[in-house]
Amino acid sequence: GAGVSQSPRYKVTKRGQDVALRCDPISGHVSLYWYRQALGQGPEFLTYFNYEAQQDKSGLPNDRFSAERPEGSISTLTIQRTEQRDSAMYRCASSTMTSGGEQYFGPGTRLTVT
Amino acid sequence: GIQVEQSPPDLILQEGANSTLRCNFSDSVNNLQWFHQNPWGQLINLFYIPSGTKQNGRLSATTVATERYSLLYISSSQTTDSGVYFCAVEIGSGTYKYIFGTGTRLKVLA
């Protein structure tokens, strides 16, 4: 079946603009996670959802970052007033379990802020 | 917070060689996954292994949760094994996020 998909795959934006990154999890997966990966490092947790409820947003760097999953399926990560330090790969993962479980990652969105 | 350290940080092998990658974690974990990030950036699931031993072809993994480490074995390495290997641990306690290790960068030479 189809895996986790993310769009856009690449996004170049100017500093100060808002961006919205989309994640479409594997069908039937109940939990959805967002991570950020800097070059040469492992993914870093941002936030996650069980169904439509945001369970943990402790990894969001500041209040310019927000995420939603209104219908318990597709999720959007929004970054307002982007800064150059926001440039990174943003990854989404989904899982069949609400309490941990094996995570499956999407291809990521490469964000570049100029 | 929990520390997840992987060793070695870098590894160069000749095709056909075997290797062992290690993941040490500083606290009890509920779950552990191994991933391979290929040169194109894809994160590929290798093992979901909170404890015990699993094998998949040339790869196998062992997690000894009580001693807080996991090992990934690669036998008869191939050039397609090149990339970065990450372990990730999930600590539970009301939140189920994964913490990734520092990674092992592997290059297999033909």
* Per-residue pLDDT tens over the stretch B53-87: 999 999 999 999 999 999 999 999 999 999 999 99
Contacts of A36 (CB under 8 A, 6+ apart): A43, A44, A46, A88, A89, A90, A91
Label residue A42 exposed, middle or buried (CB < 10 Å: 0-12, 13-18, 19+).
Answer: buried
Report, as an integer, the average pLDDT of B5-32. 96
Q: Is B9 on the interface with A (CB under 8 A)?
A: no
Binary contact (A48, B35; C-beta < 8 A): no
- What band does A55 get if pLDDT is binned at 50, 70 and 90? very high
Percent of chain A with pLDDT over 90: 92
How confident is the model over A5-15, as pLDDT tens digits?
Answer: 999 999 999 99
CA of B23, closest CA in chain A: separation in Å? 13
Q: Is A13 on the interface with B (CB under 8 A)?
A: no
Cα A58 from Cα B59, distance rounded (Å): 34
Classify residue A83 as left (phi > 0), alpha (psi -120 to 50) or beta: beta
CA of B75, closest CA in chain A: separation in Å? 24
